[in-house]
Amino acid sequence: MSTVLVVEDEAHLAVGLRFNLENAGYAVRLVDNGEDALSQVEGADLVLLDVNLPGGQDGFEIAREIRKAHNIVPIIMLSARNQKEDRIRGLDAGADDYLTKPFDLEELLARLRGHLRRQVWHRRDGDDESEASEASATTLEFDGCRIDFRSLEAIDHRGEGFQLSWKEAMMMRLFLENEGEVIPRARFLEEVWGEPGTLETRTVDNFIMRLRRYFEPDPKKPRHILSVRGVGYRFVR
Ligand code: CA
């Protein structure tokens, strides 16, 4: 049984979510503030995270804290706001998805299933039909760096071990599967985020900056994760 951590301070909504999620076969942990969210997140399979929370930390900060702790649990943010800016902020903070209140229960459950499935797909190292032929590589090694795509454990350019986020790993995997070829930003959005057209390409650039900090001794003069002006990026070992 998958465990969903629900972080929601509006009592009627929280209780309704718990009822519906339990009905759909999930175990539910319910908290109404950021502090409890951080203490309860360990072991959860997915987090439903409200943006506006009482106390000092909002949902964006909680998402960032969860990722800082190298926890790759899928996070779906819930918000009354529907600004594109907020959506991007949420995804930049490390969330995987963003739903605007009021949301449709069926849509929430469908997205939840999707994220849990992708998580499982990822852990089993991609026996997805469309990728079966290319998904055989479970590690990538270059220039002293190393990535294990099953555990998401990586070794950076200083030789230090750390944990990649799921999306960071998916980006490196896309690089690996297309080694030497130019990958347009839009393709990253499509394959890593599954949302072509709804996100700004700046999201991709932010992730690239992060990846370079991990894997490039001099991120300003990259030797592996190369920019292709006006188009996207290219990876060479
Ligand atoms: Ca709230």
One-letter amino acid at 147 equals: I
Token pair belonging to 30: 């319910």
Tell which residue, 120, 63, 66, 72, has the closest CA to residue 95. 63
- Does 140 share its domain with 107? no
- Does 26 share its domain with 109? yes
- Cα(79) to centroid(ligand 1), Å: 8
- Cα(85) to centroid(ligand 1), Å: 18
- Cα(142) to centroid(ligand 1), Å: 45
Using a pLDDT cut of 90, give the percent of the chain over it.
53
- Does 108 share its domain with 155? no
Range of the structural domain that residue 141 is part of: 128-235
- Does 166 share its domain with 110? no
- Cα(52) to centroid(ligand 1), Å: 4
One-letter amino acid at 49 equals: L
- Cα(203) to centroid(ligand 1), Å: 26
- Does 138 share its domain with 225? yes
CB 225 within 8 A of CB 215: yes
- Cα(195) to centroid(ligand 1), Å: 26
- Does 11 share its domain with 117? yes
Average pLDDT over the chain, rounded to an integer: 86
- Cα(9) to centroid(ligand 1), Å: 5
Write down the residue that tokens 């409890």 correspond to: 36
Q: Count other C-beta atoms under 10 Å from residue 184's C-beta.
A: 15
- Cα(51) to centroid(ligand 1), Å: 6
Whole-angstrom distance, CA of residue 50 vs CA of residue 59: 6
When pLDDT is cut at 50, 70 and 90, the band that residue 128 belongs to is very low
Point out the domain boundary residue: 89, 123, 157.
123
Whole-angstrom distance, CA of residue 109 vs CA of residue 130: 25
Strands 182-184 and 232-235: antiparallel
Supply the pLDDT for residue 59: 95
For residue range 77-97, list pLDDT tens digits in order: 998 877 777 877 887 888 888
When pLDDT is cut at 50, 70 and 90, the band that residue 137 belongs to is low
Point out the domain boundary residue: 89, 105, 123.
123
Q: Is the pLDDT of residue 126 over 90?
A: no
| Domain count for the chain | 2
- Cα(39) to centroid(ligand 1), Å: 19
CATH (domain of 164): 1.10.10.10
- Does 42 share its domain with 147? no
When pLDDT is cut at 50, 70 and 90, the band that residue 133 belongs to is very low
Supply the pLDDT for residue 115: 82
- Cα(109) to centroid(ligand 1), Å: 20
Using a pLDDT cut of 70, give the percent of the chain over it.
89
CATH (domain of 77): 3.40.50.2300
- Does 154 share its domain with 230? yes
- Does 7 share its domain with 107? yes
- Cα(134) to centroid(ligand 1), Å: 43
- Does 137 share its domain with 212? yes
pLDDT higher for 150 or 1? 1
Token pair belonging to 152: 């998401």
Whole-angstrom distance, CA of residue 182 vs CA of residue 185: 10
- Cα(46) to centroid(ligand 1), Å: 18
